[in-house]
Amino acid sequence: MKAQIELYSNLLRELEMDIGTRDLTELFLEALALSIKNLKVNSPEAFLEQFRGLYEVVSNTEPKFGILNYQFARLANYSQDVVCKDKKCVKKWKHMVIKRLEQMIREERDKKVNIVKNAEKIEVDGKTILIHDHSHTVQDALVHYKNMGKKFKVIIAEQNFNKTHDNIERMHDAGIPFQVIPSYMLSHVHDQIDMVFFGAVTLKSTMNFVMSPGTHGIISEFHVIDVPVYMFIDTAKFSLWKSKKKVGVFMHKHERTHYNKPITYERIKYSHDRVPHKLFKKIVTNEGVFTPVALKKLFDEKMKKYSFEK
C-alpha cells in the first residue's frame, strides 16, 4: 500500500505540474473509467474491494488532491448503492459505474463553463492583466473574454519554461495580445498592470491556497501596491479536511555544478507555494464570485457537509 501511495503521489504531482489540476481530474476520471472497463472481477464485492483499495491510495497521496477525493467519495457512495448480489450482473453493473463516471466527467466540463460564466462579473475591458502560473481555468476565462469582444492585454510573468510556453501558445492561438516579462523584473511594469489572475491546486482548511512556486512573491508584491489579485478555482478542489501546516509542499534538493568553474553546490526547489486567501480581492468559482470572508464561510459550510476526514 505504501509503495502504491508513493507511486500515485509522484504521478499525480507530476501531472498536476504538467497539465494543471483541472485537466488532471478529467484525465484521471477517464483513465479510471477505462480501467474499470478492462478490470476482470467475478463479483461486485470483488470490485468494491478493489475500488476501496484504490480510494485508500488516492485519498492518502501527498499532497492530497481535494478534487479527486471528492469525486472518489461520490463514486464510492454510488457504487455501494447500485451494488447487486448476482454474480451474473457484474458486466451490467460495471457498465452503470462507467456511465456514472462519464456523467462526472461531463459535470467537470460543465463546471469549467460555470467558472468562465462567473468570470464575466470581473470587468477586464481596457485592462492589462498579469498571469503567471499556467492555470487552464485562467486561460479559459481570458479566451472567453476575448470571444466576448473585450479589449485587454496580457502580460505573462516568465517562470518554468514549459508553463510559460503553455501560456504563450494559448494566448497566441486565441489572438490575445501579450508580452512576456521575467518574473523578477515585474517591478518595472507595476504601473502598467491593472489586475492579476491566478489559479490554484487546492484550498486548505488553513485558508491557504496551494499554488505554483513563485506565486506567493508576485501576489504579495501586487497586494502591497494595491493592484487587485483574482483567484479562479473550482470549489471541488477544496481540501475538505483539517490540514497540517506545510504538508503538501515538497522540497527537492540536488547538486549542481557551476557552469565553468569546479564549484558544486546544493540547490533547493519547492513544489508549491501556500498563499493566504486574504491576499485576493475576489475568488471566482463555479458557485459564484466570493470575497475572502465569504469564501471562508462557503468553505466551512462545505467542510461540515462533505468532510472526507476518515
Distance in angstroms (rounded) separating the CA atoms of residues 264 and 249: 25
Residue from 94, 260, 265, 277 nearest 203 by CA: 277
Asked whether the beta carbons of 97 and 57 are under 8 A apart, the reply is: no
Instruction: Examine residue 294 and tell whether it contacts other proteins (CB under 8 A).
Output: no
Q: How far is the CB of 247 from other proteins (least distance, A)?
A: 23
Residue (23 or 107) nearer to other proteins, CB: 23
Residue from 8, 72, 198, 232 binding other proteins (CB under 8 A): 8
Residue (166 or 273) nearer to other proteins, CB: 166
Q: How far is the CB of 68 from other proteins (least distance, A)?
A: 11
The footprint of other proteins on this chain (CB under 8 A) covers a number of residues equal to 27
Per-residue mark of binding to other proteins, 46-85 (x: CB under 8 A):
-x--xx-xx--x----------------------------
Residue (34 or 148) nearer to other proteins, CB: 34
Name the E strands within the chain: 128-131, 153-158, 178-182, 195-199, 202-203, 208-211, 229-232, 251-257, 264-270, 273-276, 282-285, 288-290
Query: Per CB under 8 A, which of residues 103..142 are in contact with other proteins?
Result: none
Other C-beta atoms lying within 10 Å of the C-beta of residue 234: 24
Instruction: Examine residue 32 and tell whether it contacts other proteins (CB under 8 A).
Output: yes
Instruction: Examine residue 39 and tell whether it contacts other proteins (CB under 8 A).
Output: yes
For cell 481570458, name the residue. 142
Half-sphere exposure of 142 toward its Cβ, with a 13 Å CA cutoff? Answer: 33
Instruction: Examine residue 30 and tell whether it contacts other proteins (CB under 8 A).
Output: yes
Q: How far is the CB of 130 from other proteins (least distance, A)?
A: 25
Instruction: Examine residue 40 and tell whether it contacts other proteins (CB under 8 A).
Output: yes
Name the site residues for other proteins (rule: CB under 8 A).
3-4, 7-8, 11, 15, 18-19, 23, 27-28, 30-32, 34-36, 38-41, 47, 50-51, 53-54, 57
